[in-house]
Amino acid sequence: MDAPVSLPTVADIDEAARRLAGVALHTPLLSSAALDAITGGRIFLKAETLQRTGSFKFRGAYNKLAAITPEQRAGGVVAFSSGNHAQGVAAAARLLGMRCVIVMPSDAPRAKRERTAALGAELVLYDRLRDDREAIAAAIAAERGATLVPPYDDALIIAGQGTAGREIVEDLSALGLKPDVVVVTASGGGLTAGIALAVKSRVPNAALYTAEPQGFDDHARSFKSGQREQNAALTGTICDALMARMPGKLTFAINRTLVGAGLVASDEEVAAAVAFAFAELKLVVEPGGAVALAALLNRKIDVTGKVAVAVLSGGNVDPELFSRLVA
């Protein structure tokens, strides 16, 4: 693996928290007696489903865009995303008065495409199986003089996502608790890297795990081999938000030292977790946002007697799919 030029630090997360104050929401930690009974632990759910735009992605997007100099803002921004990063970037661009282009797969959930467009972004659709989204976005950025906003492999993006980890430790501390285990859904690894940096700096003994859908467990396999592994498939899971081909360079450089291992859940287990969150917590969680919860519900790790946190990373799901899952 090529050595990253610059990795984010805990100080960068603290700076991101100052930048996001009054803009991003401090989302709650929720508990459930039913979940505690199933797992044998004291479980908290970090409800990023309630964040602006319905996912954690707004944190990193706003932190990145707010750091762009006034001179560079005139060219606008370009991002590539299946939906949650798209909405986060579009919302941040609108707040900061910047033009925004989003390169999205044509098979992205309709709700995500519509919400991204409603936030004022120009959509450029591509074929997930045939086209190179990064090449498309880079060409647009070069043509328009726009700033490219990666979904995860960027120090400012990672630092912004890390504010969620900062809040987890702060809110547990207010209850007189520390996290023993934190499970984070992973696609490119930006949320995991940011949360791992924030949590481990304050609670060094906490154990961090990624959670991924079956068949897209590149982090789990990468932790075992010690190098970035690639998924064979490009699509084929209900967790549309978690289909990155492999861990990012920057994110894996952080996660391979701070994260213990990767957990994997089947689509059936994820579907049951979506239904559980709706029935027990009255929350709408998209499949990709429910994998960490699925891992705990199915006891992929033993959290008996431990304080554990699962991050519910997003809630942007097509109504038709959601109705099938909760039924």
Structural domain contains residue 2:
no
b/e sequence 225-241, b meaning 16+ C-beta within 10 Å: eeebbebeeeeebbbbb
**Does 4 score more than 70 pLDDT?**
no
Q: Specify whether 62 is located in the same domain as 51.
A: no
Q: Specify whether 205 is located in the same domain as 108.
A: no
Structural domain contains residue 294:
yes
Domain that holds residue 171: 10-55+154-326
DSSP-assigned letters across all residues of 233-302: -SS-SS-GGG--SS--HHHHHHHHHH--EEEEE-HHHHHHHHHHHHHHH-----GGGSHHHHHHHTTSS-
Q: Is 210 helix (H, G, I), strand (E, B) or coil?
A: strand
Q: Specify whether 262 is located in the same domain as 130.
A: no
Considering its fold, how many domains does the chain have in total? Answer: 2
Confidence band of 3 (pLDDT split at 50, 70, 90) = very low
Q: Specify whether 83 is located in the same domain as 27.
A: no
pLDDT of residue 257: 96
Of 148, 164, 196, which closes a domain?
148
Residue type, position 208, single letter:
L
Confidence band of 129 (pLDDT split at 50, 70, 90) = confident
What is the length of the chain? 327
CATH number reported for the structural domain that contains residue 143 in this entry: 3.40.50.1100
CB 133 within 8 A of CB 80: yes
CB 238 within 8 A of CB 181: no
Structural domain contains residue 3:
no
CB 1 within 8 A of CB 249: yes
Of 115, 148, 181, which closes a domain?
148
In the predicted model, what is the mean pLDDT of residues 171-192? Answer: 98
Q: Specify whether 68 is located in the same domain as 196.
A: no
Q: Specify whether 260 is located in the same domain as 185.
A: yes
The DSSP symbol for 308 reads E
Q: Specify whether 243 is located in the same domain as 95.
A: no
Give the whole-angstrom CA distance, residue 141 versus residue 155.
19
Q: Specify whether 188 is located in the same domain as 246.
A: yes
CB 123 within 8 A of CB 104: yes
Give the number of other CB atoms < 10 A from CB of residue 326.
Answer: 14
Helix (H) or strand (E) holding 33: helix 33-39
pLDDT of residue 5: 55
Of 117, 148, 179, which closes a domain?
148
pLDDT of residue 2: 47
Q: Is the pTM of this model over 0.85?
A: yes
pLDDT of residue 309: 98
Q: Specify whether 37 is located in the same domain as 164.
A: yes
Structural domain contains residue 291:
yes
In the predicted model, what is the mean pLDDT of residues 121-132? Answer: 93
CB 77 within 8 A of CB 44: no
Per-residue pLDDT tens over the stretch 269-283: 999 999 999 999 999
Give the whole-angstrom CA distance, residue 223 versus residue 39.
25
In the predicted model, what is the mean pLDDT of residues 198-218? Answer: 98
What percentage of the chain reaches a pLDDT higher than 90?
Answer: 91
Per-residue pLDDT tens over the stretch 31-63: 999 999 999 999 999 999 999 999 999 999 999
pLDDT of residue 236: 92
